[in-house]
Structure 1
C-alpha cells in the first residue's frame, strides 16, 4: 500500500510542469470574469477547476501557479480574503517568486492583479512573511479601467434602467442571461467608476504591460454600448490602460490597431501609473487574446518595455508598404504575427 501511494505521488508530480518559467521567471495566472459563476456560485474544487479550464487554450501549461477566484463574489470581500490571501501566503512560503515572478492576467484579472500589486507587500509583511517579488504583469484585454457593459448590467438588474431589445441581446450574449439583483457579484467592481477607484494610485512600480484587441465574439452586438474601439467586452480606454475614460481608437498616438502608421487623433495619450501598451491586434477578440489561435496580424504600440528588475520584453517589428503610388501607406507589424497567435508572440519574446 505504501509503494502504491508513493507511485501515485510520483505520477502527480509528473503531471505538473517541470519548469514553466519565462526566462527563469515563474508565471502566476489571474483569470478574468466567468459569467456562469453568477448562477452556478462555485466553491472549493469547482473554483479551482474553472480556473484551470479558463487558461487551457495556451497559458495553463506555461504557468507555475494560479490565483483562482469565483465571479459571484466581490474583490475586496471574499475574493481577497478567501482566495487571494491564502494563495499569496502559499506563494510567499514556497519562495516561488524570490527570483522574480511575472503575473499574467486576463480581463477582470487585470483589476484583481492591480489590487494584489498594491497590497500584497503590506499584507505579507504584517503576517511576518516575505513579500512577493513581482517584476511585471502581462495584462491581456485588461478590464482594470472598468467595463461599460457592467454598468448597464447592474442597472438592468436593479430595475433602474430602460432597456431595449438591442441592450438585452448584448447583455445576454455577454453574460448568457439577464442579471438579477441576487447574482451580480464582481460586476459591481467592474463598473467604470468603481474599477478606476480600486487601487488607482499604486505605490508599487511594477510595470503593467498591455495587450489589446479590436475584434468581437458577439457579431459586434456589444460594440454600440462601448466607447471607441473595443474587443467585444472591454473598451480601449481600459485595455490600453488609459488614465481617463474616453472614446479611444488606438493604444498609440502614431499607429492604428491594424498597424497603419499615421497620426491617431483618438489614440490614448495618457496612461495610468506604470501602465504601458505593447501589442495590438485588430482581429483579436476579448477571449481570443489568450488562445493559441492566430487572428490576423499584430502591431506594436511599443516594441520594448522594461521589467522592475531592469530586464526587458522586446518584440521585433518591420514596416510594410501597402497600396499603390500616392495612395500607399506604411504599416508596422510584429515579426511572426503572420503565423503565431498573440499569446505565442508574447511567450516567445519573454522566454
Structure 2
C-alpha cells in the first residue's frame, strides 16, 4: 500500500514539474506567441457541426499549443476577407489590444494557410484597431512553417474538379483524396483563397515591415500523388515558391543558391531568385513534410538558408556546422543546423523565438 502511494506521489511530482517547466519556458520568452493554424479539410464536410475552437486546439496539440500564449482559430469553410476576418480574427485582435498582450511585442507562429491569414492581419490590423479607438498590435515577426501564402496548385485543381470545370481524371482524383479526403464534393471557403493567383493577390504588399521568417519542408506524406500537380519541389501540399516566400511562381528547388534542401552545399541553379518583401527563408529540410513539420517529433537533419535575421531589438539565429561524407568523386559537403540530429524542426523553431 505504501509503495503504491509513493509511486503515485512521485508520478504527480514529475507531472507537475513537467507542467511547470513548460509554463516557465513559455513565460520566459520576451515576445508573446500567437498561433494561426492552417487549412482543415474536415471542416468542409459539416460546417454546422464544426467546433472551430476545439479544432484549433487539436491542430496544435502535438507540440505548439502548450507553449503558446494565444491562438487565432478560424473556419476553413469561410473566406479570409469574409467571415474569417469579421467573425474570428477581429474579436481576437480586439481582445489582444484591450489586454495589452502585444505591447512588448508578439510573434505569430503560422502553419500552411495561417501564413495567408497572417498576411491579411498584418496589412489591416492597425487600421481596424485605430478606427475602433484601440491600440494597434506590436507584431515584431511571423514564423511561417510550411507557408501557403503563395497559394497551392492543389487548390487550383481542387476548385476546378469540385466545381465541375474540369473533366474527371483518375490522377487528380487520387491527389485530392490524399489531400482533402474522399468525402468532399464541393469547392467552398478558403479553398478559393488558396488558389495560387488568388493567394498572391490577397494583401500582397502590407505596409507593416514585420519580418516573415520561413521554415520549409521538402518531404512528402502522399507518396508523390500530389507532387504531380505542384510546381518544382514541394512538401506534399505547397511548393517551394510558396514556402520560401518567392516573389514569383516557378519550379524552384531550394530557397538558397548555395545549399539544397537536404543540406548539401552545391550551387542550386533552380533556387528562388527573388523574395516577397521582408520574407526570409531560414530553415529547410527534406526530412519533414507539410503536416509533420509542425509537430514535436524528430525526423532528421535540418539545414539553414539564412542563419540570422533581426527582429525588433533582437536577432533570430541558427548555428550550423559543415559535414563531409565520402571521398574523391563521391565526396559531398553538407551544412547542418546544430542539434538538428536530436531536436525536431518545431523544437528548433521554438527555441529561436526571443
Indicate the TM-score class for this superposition, using the shorter chain for normalisation: over 0.9
Superposition CA RMSD, Å: 1.7
**Compared with structure 1, are the counterparts of its residues 214 and 339 closer, same or farther at alpha carbon in structure 2 (3 Å cutoff)?**
same
1:20: Cα distance to partner? 2.0
After TM superposition, the structure 1 = structure 2 runs for residues 174-323 of structure 1, keeping only pairs within 5 Å, are 174-177=179-182, 179-181=184-186, 183-307=187-311, 309-323=312-326
Separation in structure 2 between the aligned mates of residue 138 and residue 95 of structure 1, nearest angstrom: 21
Superposed CA offset, 1:136-167 (max 9, x none)? 10000000000000000000111111232111
Superposed CA offset, 1:239-279 (max 9, x none)? 00000001001011111000011110001120001100000
Separation in structure 1 between the aligned mates of residue 48 and residue 93 of structure 2, nearest angstrom: 21
Runs of 4+ in 1 over 4 A off after TM superposition: 14-19
1:345 — aligned with what? 348
Separation in structure 1 between the aligned mates of residue 28 and residue 60 of structure 2, nearest angstrom: 16
Q: State which of 20, 33, 38 in structure 2 corresponds to 1:32.
A: 38
Separation in structure 2 between the aligned mates of residue 305 and residue 239 of structure 1, nearest angstrom: 17
> Given that residues 153 and 179 in structure 1 are in contact (C-alpha distance below 8 angstroms), is that contact kept between their aligned partners in structure 2?
no
Asked whether 1:89 is paired with 2:94, we answer: yes
1:327: Cα distance to partner? 2.7
Separation in structure 2 between the aligned mates of residue 161 and residue 47 of structure 1, nearest angstrom: 31
Separation in structure 2 between the aligned mates of residue 43 and residue 350 of structure 1, nearest angstrom: 36
**Compared with structure 1, are the counterparts of its residues 119 and 22 closer, same or farther at alpha carbon in structure 2 (3 Å cutoff)?**
farther
> Given that residues 288 and 299 in structure 2 are in contact (C-alpha distance below 8 angstroms), is that contact kept between their aligned partners in structure 1?
yes
1:89: Cα distance to partner? 0.2
Separation in structure 2 between the aligned mates of residue 285 and residue 160 of structure 1, nearest angstrom: 30
After TM superposition, the structure 1 = structure 2 runs for residues 158-177 of structure 1, keeping only pairs within 5 Å, are 158-177=163-182
1:42: Cα distance to partner? 5.1
1:103 — aligned with what? 108
Separation in structure 1 between the aligned mates of residue 259 and residue 24 of structure 2, nearest angstrom: 40
Separation in structure 2 between the aligned mates of residue 298 and residue 122 of structure 1, nearest angstrom: 39
**Compared with structure 1, are the counterparts of its residues 166 and 65 closer, same or farther at alpha carbon in structure 2 (3 Å cutoff)?**
same
**Compared with structure 1, are the counterparts of its residues 90 and 272 closer, same or farther at alpha carbon in structure 2 (3 Å cutoff)?**
same
1:17: Cα distance to partner? 4.6
Separation in structure 2 between the aligned mates of residue 18 and residue 204 of structure 1, nearest angstrom: 31
5+ residue gaps in structure 1? 1-13
5+ residue gaps in structure 2? 1-18
Number of aligned residue pairs? 335
Separation in structure 2 between the aligned mates of residue 197 and residue 43 of structure 1, nearest angstrom: 31
